Structure 1
Amino acid sequence: MPRTRRSPGSPDAVKLLVATANPHKVTELRHTLPGWQIEAWQAPEPPVEDGDTFEENARIKARHARAYAPSDVWVAGEDSGIEAAGLGGRPGVESARWAEDGVAALLAALAGGSDRHARYVCAIVAISPGGDELVATGTLEGVVADEPRGSEGFGYDPIMVPVGETRTVAELGDAWKAEHSHRARAARALASDLEERPW
């Protein structure tokens, strides 16, 4: 399918404001989409993230940003976390708020259990200056390691071992994440959707 020629209003021609206080997320998005001008942005007051899914929380962030951000730029909300099969999908949308030390809490919760399968989930909702909403998701399957390993990445990366790998995401490093992470997959899905639309 031929690509649609994009206008100067598309995210790779102007700044994309990502509603987040986490600089690591913006860094990952920049690594995955180097042609985009991506900046972290925060509203005067943070939104209440009370969604039941990652997509719902990403939409809450994006719509909140759209209400406050300059009207001539794209905005995006992102929500992500880890779902442990042995815990019925927890911590899920509570990943960032589950415990003061989420890694230690997850290891403790899984101690003695036989099912250590888990997956990372990322949802991105982007809103155009005209109010059009795009949704993209990405996942990364793996297992939870017995102990933290590695120094790169953030969050649960030191204990997440992707399928087909023997090292944790924190050991695999930023270059690997830019190609294979749940966030990278969601970002590329978003970019692909944008390529096909007549903005």
Structure 2
Amino acid sequence: MTRKLDGSRLVIATHNAGKLKEIGALLAPHGIECVSAGALGLPEPDETGTTFVENALLKAHAAAKAAQMPALADDSGLSVLALGGRPGVYTADWAERQWFEGDPGRDWYMAMGKVEGLLAQIGPEADRSCWFSCVLAIAWPDGDEAVYEGRVDGTYSWPPRGTMGFGYDPVFVPRGFDMTFAELPPEEKHRMSHRADAFAKLVADQFA
């Protein structure tokens, strides 16, 4: 039997304001107050895993141990069929600026352009099928853990469209739609996203 959350406060192992907002909105109906690792001043561990599950667990355990309270970590990314599943677990890394590219931080437009450039090299026959994956890991300070996985399929679109969402949302058109995640109202995206899929499984297990 999976261990249940027995408190109302949960550390979200992220320094990403967009991700915290999205996760907080999904957990709010269940009476869970979310505080980010960034707000607590917790360091970001190196993501040395080669899978979403490994990285999510690594971040969740690091935050739970440092904060001495349950922690939830999300590891998610975009995989493109024609690129053999890349960028996958390296989704965020593709957005990292090098020292000679200006201020440090993530440049998502640059990352989206890298994917498009590789697809352009393949040519117009490139299969633009892609999917977002999300793994949610809960860890407790004593080492217990639980994992939930979600996915949403779609098509890689170019050029980027929309101003809502974050990351690769402006180039992802979910199956059955003609708008990108960044063009859809947030509440509609939340109903179908990879994170929503993983959260549905977490809620069914933790709050049912």
TM-score tier by shorter-chain length is 0.7 to 0.9
- Cα shift at 1:31: 2.1
Match of 1:17 among 6, 11, 17: 11
Identify unmatched segments of 5+ residues in structure 1.
Answer: 1-5
1:173 corresponds to which of 163, 185, 199: 185
Alignment of 1:1-199 (within 5 A): 10=6, 13-35=7-29, 36-42=32-38, 44-69=42-67, 71=68, 73-99=69-95, 100=107, 101-111=110-120, 112=123, 113-195=125-207
Alignment partner of 2:126: what SS?
coil
Native 8 Å contact 1:158 1:171 kept in 2: yes
- Structure 2 residue matching 1:27: 3-state secondary structure: helix
**1:3 aligns to what?**
none
* Letter paired with 1:68: A
Q: Give the AA of the match of 2:197.
A: R
For residue 173 of structure 1, report the CA deviation from its aligned partner. Answer: 2.6
Partner of 2:103: none
Cα separation, partners in 2 of 1:29 and 1:44, compared to 1, 3 Å = closer
Is the Cα contact below 8 Å between 2:61 and 2:140 reproduced in 1?
Answer: no
2:203 aligns to what SS in structure 1? helix
Is the 2:61–2:143 Cα contact (8 Å) retained in structure 1? Answer: no
**1:31 counterpart letter in structure 2:** A
**For residues 118 and 103 of structure 1, what CA distance do their matches in structure 2 show?**
13
In the TM superposition, residue 120 of structure 1 has moved relative to its aligned partner by 0.1
Q: Which moved more, 1:163-172 or 1:178-187?
A: 178-187
For residues 177 and 93 of structure 1, what CA distance do their matches in structure 2 show? 22
The alpha-carbon deviation at position 25 of structure 1 amounts to 0.8
Query: Greater share of helix residues, 1 or 2?
Result: 2
TM-score, normalization: structure 1?
0.86
Superposition deviation, residue 34 in structure 1: 2.0
Q: CA RMSD in A?
A: 1.7
* Matched-pair contact (CA < 8 Å) for 1:32–1:188: no
Residue identity in the other structure for 1:92: G
Aligned residues of 1:29 and 1:184 also touching (Cα < 8 A) = no
* Percent identity of equivalent pairs: 37
Distance 1:31 1:45, change over 3 A: closer
Matched residue SS, 2:54: helix
> How many residues of Structure 1 are paired with residues of Structure 2 in the alignment?
185
Q: Which runs of 5+ in 2 are unaligned?
A: 96-106
TM-score (norm: length of structure 2) = 0.83
